[in-house]
Amino acid sequence: MARKRIREDDEAQIDITPMMDIVFIMLIFFIVTTSFVKEAGIDVNKPESTQAQQKPSATIFIAIRPNGEIWMDRRMVDVERVAANIERLVAESPTDTIIIQADKETQHGRVMEVMDQIKAAGDYIITIAGEQ
């Protein structure tokens, strides 16, 4: 009885190329379809509103603390730099809506300064966030 000898070249191998192609295509799909949101980076105590409505989602948030600090993209900015930061963020992810999250203890004048800077940056829809 003759035995067949198995050579090392005849061993079974798994080809992972098709699996890598599928993983790569899925990665591209998720990167393209993900919406990148640039949040302000701080929590503010927003005033309550009985007439608040849900607005379309925006990708630019500006938070204003009670002491007047302005936060965009998780860092504090001067009021004079708000327009430049908006232009940079819009270049990264285009939007026409900007949401201001002002603390209920924030002075009205500071909110108006931020709104003036937004208008100087372009024609954007400004929404002031409130608690529902």
68 falls within a domain:
yes
18 falls within a domain:
no
CA distance 121 to 87: 7
72 falls within a domain:
yes
**pTM for this prediction:** 0.61
Judge whether residue 55 has pLDDT over 60: no
Return all residues near 35 (Cβ < 8 A) that are at least 6 apart. Answer: 57, 59, 93
In the chain the first and final C-alpha atoms are separated, in Å, by: 86
What average pLDDT does the segment 84-96 reach?
Answer: 88
What average pLDDT does the segment 70-89 reach?
Answer: 91
CA distance 89 to 84: 9
Look at the chain and report how many structural domains it folds into: 1
CA distance 78 to 24: 42
Domain hosting residue 100, numbered range: 60-128
Model confidence at 47, pLDDT cuts 50, 70, 90, reads low
- pLDDT in the model for residue 13: 80
9 falls within a domain:
no
HSE, CB side, 13 Å, CA atoms: give it for residue 95: 24
Judge whether residue 7 has pLDDT over 80: no
48 falls within a domain:
no
| Mean model confidence pLDDT for the chain | 81
Judge whether residue 50 has pLDDT over 70: no
- pLDDT in the model for residue 123: 87
- pLDDT in the model for residue 131: 63
Question: What CATH number should be reported for the domain holding residue 106?
Answer: 3.30.420.270
Q: CA-based Rg of the chain, rounded to a whole angstrom? A: 26
23 falls within a domain:
no
- pLDDT in the model for residue 63: 92
